[in-house]
Each structure stands twice: as structure tokens, then as C-alpha cells.
Amino acid sequence: MSSTSRGGGMGMDQAAAGVDTGAPSSIQQRLSRTHTAGNLGETAFNSEEVPSSLSEIARTSSLSEIAPILRVANEVEISNPRVAYLCRFYAFEKAHTLDPTSSGRGVRQFKTALLQRLERENDPTLMGRVKKSDAREMQSFYQHYYKKYIQALQNAADKAEL
């Protein structure tokens, strides 16, 4: 009896291999697709690598790109994990605003991996937060950064002019 007479079909991989699973082709295709939607993990996720479709949307909609936000998150991770988390959260929101249906190439995988990381890091970074709110945490980090780097450079430049 053929697979079509049983109401089943072969997925593309099975058809190429000549294997009949007996499952309808729609189920077989869904199963083969869900296999790739697993946990992407840190090793497969480069948080600064933004899908080109999001970058293109960002350029055409005059919104800033997401990669610089993720780069900052990676740079401040060691000194302030909560600020890094907040940067990633903002990048996720921006990605979702740019492509809410995740229809662009690689966007769904990018957003899924970023969301998994955010879910994993929320509680630990929240417990390590120094200030009472995320807004105050961000403000405190910026004030410290400004004094240590920006103001110091300005002072050095002023001294060099004298």
C-alpha cells in the first residue's frame, strides 16, 4: 500500500531517502521544522550579530541600529550586569518594533535567542541591582561612567590647551 493511499505523506528528508513514515506530510514538515527551533544557547548566539533584515529595516525606517546597543551591553557586562541586561532588553524591544511578526530572515531565531538570554539573566541581575529601580541603576551607571571617562577626558584636554 502506498503512503498516499494511507492518507500519509513523506517529508522532504524521508522522500529523498525513500523512507515512508506514514505520517501526513503536514505533520512531518512541522516535526522537521520544530527540530531546528530548540534552545540556541550562548555558543550559537552572538549577541552583536543582528540579522541583516533588521539592519535593513532600521536603515529604511530611520531608527538607529541594534548592534551598537548590544555592543554596549557586552562591554558593560562585567562592571554592571543589570545595565547590560537593560541594554539587551531595549535591543529586544527595538527588534520587535522593527519586525513585530519576525518575518525577516533570521529575525525569529535572533529574537528567540535574545529572549531566552533575557529570561535567564533577569532574576540574577535583579538580585545584584544596587539601586532601588532600573531607572536609578541606569542613571547611576551613566553618572559614574561620565565622571570616570568623559569628564576625565575633557579635563585632560583642558590641561593640554593651557
Whether 99 and 152 share a structural domain: no
pTM, to two decimals: 0.63
Q: Based on the domain organization, do 111 and 86 belong to the same domain?
A: yes
26 or 149: which leads in pLDDT? 149
Q: Domain check: are 116 and 154 in the same one?
A: no
The answer to whether residues 102 and 119 belong to one domain is: yes
Q: Is-contact 51 87, C-beta < 8 A?
A: no
- Do the domain assignments include residue 1? no
- In this structure, are 148 and 96 located in the same domain? no
Q: Nine-digit cell at 103?
A: 518575518
Per-residue model confidence as pLDDT tens digits over 89-124: 999 999 999 889 988 888 899 999 999 999 999 999
* 95 and 58 both lie in a single domain: yes
Q: Total domain count for the chain?
A: 2
| Residue 121 sits in the same domain as residue 162 | no
Q: Are residues 138 and 119 in the same domain?
A: no
- Of residues 32 and 154, which shows the higher confidence score? 154
pLDDT in the model for residue 88:
97
Whether residues 78 and 139 fall in one domain? no
User: Rounded mean pLDDT of 14-39?
Assistant: 46
**149 lies in which domain range?**
134-162
Q: Quick one: residue 13, left, alpha or beta (phi over 0 = left, psi -120 to 50 = alpha)?
A: alpha
Tens digit of each residue's pLDDT (9 = 90 or more) over 31-86: 444 444 444 444 445 566 777 766 665 554 423 478 899 999 999 999 999 999 99
